[in-house]
């Protein structure tokens, strides 16, 4: 049996590679169609507003929770570390850069991948399994324009204020802990924050919002559209959507930071 498996390995690898490349091609065409249908946004204005509420307004609690927890944690841990070197006054600088550039947008991206991405994957997957997407096509409606484009547009618009909120809440919670836990003077903390944060830090932070919006929406929607195999298939496609989009968010987070910080003064 193992020998037989080894013998068929090249064919299996070739099949898997072809399957992967075909999926990439389908994903690329799917994404292009989602962007090319943007001029129909006016027609699907109500769908856009619904999705903006789902991915924006309704995501505020989870974004706040993640931002506050990471801001607080950074303040306590980094404060303890800096205290050993007698450099506690640097706490504002180190936490602000970490929260604004990296951890604020990253955690927001991961949380939205779990919340908005899973919703997209499950909802569209259930529609695919119950032939509702085929019904749209059968009666002459473009399902990508109706279902994916408003989600993409809403995420592109709403992720930016969510990043701002995440940065703000993260900084405020860090300040609160610095003042109350490390007994740092508020003036010392904030004076280390604002003059040190350069425009490139905000560019890094806010550029991540549309990048994450595109990744999360398109990956989760594509997986929903590709669901097959009943309710178990919906579960599989939803999980795949979250895992892939979260992984891509982590990779994109690194590259956006790298590219902007290397190329901007």
Q: By CB under 8 A, name the binding residues for another protein.
A: 130-132, 134-135, 137-142, 146
In sign, the C-alpha dihedral spanning 193, 196, 199, 202 is negative
Task: Measure the CA–CA gap between 231 and 217, rounded to whole angstroms.
Answer: 21
Nearer to another protein by Cβ, of 16 and 137: the residue is 137
Smallest distance, another protein to C-beta of residue 230, A:
11
Nearer to another protein by Cβ, of 146 and 200: the residue is 146
Smallest distance, another protein to C-beta of residue 130, A:
6
Which stretches of the chain are DSSP H helices? 2-7, 9-36, 45-55, 60-84, 91-97, 104-112, 118-129, 132-138, 143, 149-180, 186-193, 199-225, 230-263
Residue pair 128/244 in contact (Cβ under 8 Å)? The answer is no
Nearer to another protein by Cβ, of 37 and 72: the residue is 37
Smallest distance, another protein to C-beta of residue 126, A:
8
Task: Measure the CA–CA gap between 161 and 63, rounded to whole angstroms.
Answer: 11
Smallest distance, another protein to C-beta of residue 133, A:
9
Smallest distance, another protein to C-beta of residue 245, A:
24
3-class secondary structure, 182: coil
In sign, the C-alpha dihedral spanning 65, 68, 74, 77 is negative
Nearer to another protein by Cβ, of 85 and 139: the residue is 139
Nearer to another protein by Cβ, of 228 and 258: the residue is 228
């Amino acid at each position: 049996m193992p020998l037989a498996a080894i013998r068929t390995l090249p064919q299996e690898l070739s099949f898997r590679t072809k399957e992967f490349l075909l999926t990439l091609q389908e994903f690329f065409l799917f994404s292009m169609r989602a962007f090319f249908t943007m001029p129909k946004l006016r027609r699907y204005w109500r769908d856009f507003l619904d999705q903006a509420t789902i991915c924006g307004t309704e995501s505020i609690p989870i974004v706040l929770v993640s931002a506050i927890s990471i801001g607080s944690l950074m303040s306590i841990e980094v404060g303890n570390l800096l205290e050993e070197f007698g450099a506690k006054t640097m706490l504002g600088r180190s936490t602000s850069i970490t929260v604004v550039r990296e951890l604020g947008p990253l955690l927001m991206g991961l949380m939205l991948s779990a919340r908005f991405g899973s919703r997209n994957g499950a909802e569209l997957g259930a529609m695919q399994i119950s032939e509702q997407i085929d019904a749209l096509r059968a009666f002459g409606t473009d399902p990508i324009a109706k279902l994916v484009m408003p989600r993409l547009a809403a995420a592109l618009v709403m992720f930016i204020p969510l990043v701002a909120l995440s940065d703000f809440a993260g900084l405020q919670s860090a300040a609160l802990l610095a003042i109350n836990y490390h007994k740092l003077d508020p003036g010392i903390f904030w004076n280390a924050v604002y003059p040190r944060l350069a425009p490139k830090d905000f560019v890094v932070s806010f550029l991540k919002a549309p990048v994450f919006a595109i990744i999360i929406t398109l990956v989760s929607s594509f997986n929903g559209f590709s669901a097959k195999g009943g309710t178990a298939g919906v579960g599989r496609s939803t999980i795949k959507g979250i895992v892939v989009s979260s992984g891509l968010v982590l990779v994109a987070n690194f590259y956006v930071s790298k590219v902007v910080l290397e190329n901007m003064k």
